[in-house]
Amino acid sequence: MERTLVLIKPDAIERKLMGEIISIYENKDLNISEIKLLKPSVEMAEKHYYEHKDKPFFQELIAYITRGKVCAMIIEGEAVVELVRKINGATDPKKADPNTIRGKFTLSKEENCVHGSDSKESAEREIKIWFS
Ligand code: IDP
Ligand code: MG
């Protein structure tokens, strides 16, 4: 069974959107096999976002993702990596379909509520960081 890593990011936790967002994945009949709430360390965040280490927004991104609690989940299902990316919507919520999580809940491309792995390989790499 394919699996992916989903993070509900600090902006969504702060805004009390966690339950509503979890329901969106559950209503799609996806299976949440692991779930936990934690405040990530800078080291974890840097590992998770390693691919962006040379981007101008890297420090801002690390500060954002470590400023409060994150809800980390492993979600399983057929073609779940692609499906979760669709449910989450485009990185920039202004370009996201309004029926997606990002399209519905935020206007900020910096603080966009959720993360979903971008490939099966990324999912396995990221799951090791958050569930080891
Ligand atoms: P993704 O989350 O849709 O996979 P990525 O391009 O991998 O998007 O970017 C990772 C995260 O970095 C985004 O979800 C967002 O929180 C943040 N981010 C992306 N682009 C920018 C930017 O231009 N400025 C600041 N933060 C950004
Ligand atoms: Mg990404």
- Domain region containing 26: 2-130
110 lines ligand 1 (CB under 6 A): yes
**Which residue's alpha carbon is nearest to atom 18 within ligand 1?**
110
- Nearest atom of ligand 1 to the alpha carbon of 85: 3
Contact 10, 70 (CB under 8 A): yes
- Nearest atom of ligand 1 to the alpha carbon of 110: 26
Residue 51 is predicted with a pLDDT of: 98
N- to C-terminal Cα separation, the chain: 19
Q: What is the pTM of this model?
A: 0.98
Q: What is the pLDDT of residues 80-115, one digit of tens each?
A: 999 999 999 999 999 999 999 999 999 999 999 999
For ligand 2, the distance from its centroid to the CA atom of residue 115, given in whole angstroms, is 7
Task: Please state, in angstroms and rounded to a whole number, the distance separating the CA atoms of residues 125 and 129.
Answer: 7
Task: Please state, in angstroms and rounded to a whole number, the distance separating the CA atoms of residues 85 and 91.
Answer: 9
Residue 106 is predicted with a pLDDT of: 95
Q: Which two tokens stand for residue 84?
A: 């979760």
Domain count, the chain: 1
Q: In what helix (H) or strand (E) does residue 70 lie, and over which residues does it extend?
A: strand 70-76
Active site residue 115: yes
Q: What is the pLDDT of residues 47-83, one digit of tens each?
A: 999 999 999 999 999 999 999 999 999 999 999 999 9
CATH code of the domain in which 81 resides: 3.30.70.141
Residue 68 is predicted with a pLDDT of: 98
